[in-house]
Amino acid sequence: MSEKITQTAGRNQLGEFAPMFAHLNDDVLFGEVWNEAAIDVKTKCIVTVVSLMASGITDSSLSYHLQNAKNHGVTKAEIAAIITHATMYVGWPRGWAVFRLAKEIWNEEAPAESEKDAYQNTEG
């Protein structure tokens, strides 16, 4: 049996302000959905990263889930292929944004030039 996923961020950050949301986040999403056995945690991590990417979410929640993916065995080569594949469906700017976060998580230096600079440098 794999490790049990637990989460307390809902209660820690919103417990008094939004107790129902905290319960749904910690007990239902992470307590039940993330621990459901039909697909493994690594696959759930990949689905989550792609879902956030498709939604245009490139904040700390995506960074958290990229780190979670790495922690559950997604390699640098796999995340690069996953982001590249998803980019073809969700849009180039989202791919760039997610690659910047992923490079930080997989301990690579972020690109020094902007996307605009990269396009200008290829126009000869």
Residue 124 has a pLDDT of 44
Within 10 Å of residue 38's Cβ, how many Cβ atoms?
Answer: 6
CATH number, position 82: 1.20.1290.10
Domain that holds residue 17: 1-38
Residue 5 has a pLDDT of 79
Q: Are residues 12 and 49 in the same domain?
A: no
Q: Taking the model in full, what pTM does it have?
A: 0.80
Q: Are residues 55 and 69 in the same domain?
A: yes
Residue 53 has a pLDDT of 98
Q: Cα–Cα distance between 116 and 82 in angstroms, integer?
A: 23
pLDDT tens-digit map of 81-116: 999 999 999 999 999 999 999 999 998 655 555 555
Whether the CA torsion 8, 29, 14, 16 is positive or negative: it is negative
Distance, CA of 42 to chain centre: 12
Q: Are residues 32 and 80 in the same domain?
A: no
Structural domain includes residue 47: yes
